[in-house]
Amino acid sequence: MVSTRSSARTFIHLGAACLLALSLGGCGTFGGFGSSQSAAPAEPPPEPELPATIRPDEIVGRWGLASFQNPNDRARTEAAARSQCKNPYVIGAGASGGVIMHLADQATPQELRLKGSSSGKNYIGPPGPAGGDLDREILSFDGRVLVTRFIDKDAANRYGNMVYVRCAPRA
C-alpha cells in the first residue's frame, strides 16, 4: 500500500505542477498578466491618397529651370531660371492624368502624379504614398513660379531647391 499511496501522491503532485505551469504560461500568452513585455503597437494604416491642391494641367508647359541652396539666393535664381527659357524644361501631360518629368538621377522622364497629404502639402512623384523618397515636395507655386525640393536627403543636397519659372508663350 505504501507504494500505491506514494505513486498516487507523486501523480497528484505532478498533475498540480503541470496545471500550475500551464496557468502561468497562459498568463503571458492570453492575458498579459505578469508579462513585462507589451504587445508591439500596430503600424498605422497608410494615409489614403488625397488629391493635390494643384492640378497637373497647371504645371504642364515650358519652364526655365535653376536651383539654389541658400534661401537668400532665391531672387537671383529666379532670374537665372527665366534666362533658361531659350532652352526650356518641358513638363508634359501624362497619358493617365499625371505629368511627364524626371525623377532624381534619371535620364528618361516618366509620368508622375501630383499628390496631396493630410498636412496640406503637395508632392510630385511616382504612384504611392505622398512624401515617399522618390517624391519632391512642392514648396511654393503661384502659377508663374514653382519651387520644389526632393524628399530624399541625398538628392535634396545635390539638387537643392528647384525653381521653375514659366516661359512666355510662343508668339
Distances (CA, A) of 168 to 60, 82, 83, 165: 13, 9, 11, 9
Q: What percent helix, strand, coil does the chain show, rounded to 5? A: 35, 25, 40
The pLDDT score that the predictor gives to residue 11 is 52
> No. of H helices and E strands in the chain?
4, 9
Strand partners, 114: 124
Instruction: Scan for cell 497647371, then name that residue.
Output: 58
pLDDT tens-place values along the chain, 171 residues long = 555 555 556 556 555 555 555 555 555 544 444 545 556 667 666 556 789 999 999 999 999 999 999 999 999 999 999 999 999 999 999 999 999 999 999 999 999 999 999 999 999 999 999 999 999 999 999 999 999 999 999 999 999 999 999 998 765
Half-sphere exposure of 31 (CA within 13 A, CB side): 7
Pairing of strands 161-166, 61-68: antiparallel
